[in-house]
Amino acid sequence: MPAARREQGVAEWTHAGGATNTLATFTCCHCNNVTIVPPRAAADDLGGFCRQCMKQTCKACASGACVPFERKLEQIEARGRLLASMGL
């Protein structure tokens, strides 16, 4: 299986009659959204693979710049500390 289709998690739904649906999932490294992997999906339909951080991305982040979700959180926290130090 190519790296762009490697599943990282599982989503399971239980219906009223007791039947269950189980599908593979992965989490986008850039926006932290969970994407469900349909059983016979082509790699292009799922999103992409970031060659800078070497992880899977969702379709929305596939064509953007490499800004990992953890770095986005660090930038938000740094901005909050700066505004707090300025008394804002």
* pTM of the predicted model as reported, rounded to 2 decimal places: 0.67
pLDDT of residue 44: 60
Please give the Cα distance from 15 to 24 (Å, whole number): 18
Task: Return averaged pLDDT per consecutive 10 residues of the chain, 88 residues in all.
Answer: 58 89 89 85 72 88 87 93 92
Contact 44, 67 (CB under 8 A): no
pLDDT of residue 1: 35
pLDDT of residue 7: 56
Please give the Cα distance from 46 to 62 (Å, whole number): 9
Please give the Cα distance from 47 to 36 (Å, whole number): 11
Beta strands in the chain (DSSP E): 9-14, 20-27, 34-37, 47-50, 55-58
Please give the Cα distance from 41 to 64 (Å, whole number): 22
